[in-house]
Structures are given as C-alpha cells and as structure tokens.
A and B are shown apart, each in its own frame.
Chain A
Amino acid sequence: DTEVTQTPKHLVMGMTNKKSLKCEQHMGHRAMYWYKQKAKKPPELMFVYSYEKLSINESVPSRFSPECPNSSLLNLHLHALQPEDSALYLCASSQPRDRGYYEQYFGPGTRLTVT
C-alpha cells in the first residue's frame, strides 16, 4: 500500500468552529508532514513528526495544533481560524534513509474554506 489518505476532502468552517483534519499511511514511514498550499503557490511546510514526536514547527500560529497518535496517523486540529487560512492542506510521509528523509508521498489534500 503506497497511499496516503486524507479526510475530509473538503471542509467549510466558520471562524469560531473547531474541526480536525486526518491523515493516514500504512507504508511504515516514520516521518509525517503537514503542508499548506495556497492557489498557484508551492506547498509550504508547517509541521514535521519524526517517530511520533514533533520535530519541526515552522512558526505556525497556535490555532493550528498537530497531533500524532501513532506511527500511521496524523491529525491537524483547527480552532478560531481566519479566512486567510483557507487553502489546500496536504499530508505527506517519508522513510528515513542514510542521512535524512527524502522522497515524500503526499495525500490528495483537504480543501479548507474558512468563512
């Protein structure tokens, strides 16, 4: 299984809502990532989990809260978002090799709209 799955596909939420994005992989990868992608822009790294521990937080606002319950699952909890947070949220995973983590496998993304 070389697939990364993400749910939901689409999400519309108000600025006072709390919601969660979910990501799952069954490739045995030990690193998982959250990216944010705005229209016609490249993906931007938000968080990295390595062996279920948060290893990188790219100065993301606290209204985004990541969680890695186990090596296959990654969540992104959303609270009090702003309209400018509307974007495609991508999850990815990768396997460590000799000197780092290399090719990443991406999910299809969750299209988030904040109203």
Chain B
Amino acid sequence: SQKIEQNSEALNIQEGKTATLTCNYTNYSPAYLQWYRQDPGRGPVFLLLIRENEKEKRKERLKVTFDTTLKQSLFHITASQPADSATYLCALNTGFQKLVFGTGTRLLVSP
C-alpha cells in the first residue's frame, strides 16, 4: 500500500537549535514534494516545494532535501524559535491535481 510517514512523536527542541523533520514514502514516484505548516484549528500553509531533480531547496531559515533513491525528504529549520512550534506536513503530488499528505510531525520549540 502507499504510505507517507513522518515522525509520529512530537519533536521537542530548544530555541536556537536546528529542527530536522523526516518524511518517508513508499510506493510513490512523485515528481514534486511539498512541505506545509499547520497551526491548531487552521488550514495548512505552503512553505516549500522541491522537484525530483533538485537535491536541496532553501528559503530563509528553512531547508528541504529530497532523495528519490531513499524515498525520503528532510526538512530543517535553523535557529528555531518558539513561533516555529506547529505541525509540519509533507505532501506528495501523486497525479496532475492530487496532493497526498503525510501523517505530520508536531514540533515544539521551547525558550
């Protein structure tokens, strides 16, 4: 069956450290992978998109890597802040219009 798995446990880190979140998938061959942030009771917010032929993408304090051989993406937040606390979702484009989300990882950044 097709699966998109992220760290199931919440990730607790201290302010200023780098948070690294993992997204692993099986039985997909996505051309694109995306990361979204979701706060409680709110809709997801798009953060970054990376293509299959891109190894790495950066945006301000965010960095995404995409390894199609390992079927894995890593999402890094450097110099993390308490305001970065949220649930982070990876998502794969599985068709022309379809987006399938991973299970999500809750990140808690403490002061």
Contacts and interface: CB of A to CB of B under 8 A. Distances in A.
Contacts of A100: 31-32, 93, 95-97
B43 A101 contact: no
Given A42-B89, A50-B97, A109 B32 contact: no
Contact of B101 (A31, A43, A88): A43
Interface in B21-73: 31-32, 34, 41-46, 49
A43 B101 CA distance: 7
B53 to A, nearest CB: 13
Given A102-B34, A109-B41, A111-B41, A45 B93 contact: no
Nearest to A48: B97
Interface residues of A, number: 26
A55 B98 CA distance: 10
Contacts of B31: 99-100
Interface residues of B, number: 22
A1 interface: no
A95 to B, nearest CB: 12
Contacts of B85: none
Contacts of A107: 43
Contacts of A99: 31, 96
Interface in A43-93: 43-45, 48, 50, 55-56, 88, 90, 92
A26 B98 CA distance: 22
Contacts of A48: 97-98
Given A88-B41, A109-B42, A45 B98 contact: yes
A102 B49 CA distance: 8
B79 interface: no
Given A42-B89, A42-B103, A56-B98, A102 B32 contact: yes
A-B residue pairs, 5 tightest by C-beta = A106-B43, A42-B101, A103-B46, A100-B96, A48-B97
10 contacts: A43-B89, A48-B98, A50-B97, A90-B43, A90-B44, A100-B32, A102-B49, A108-B42, A108-B43, A109-B42
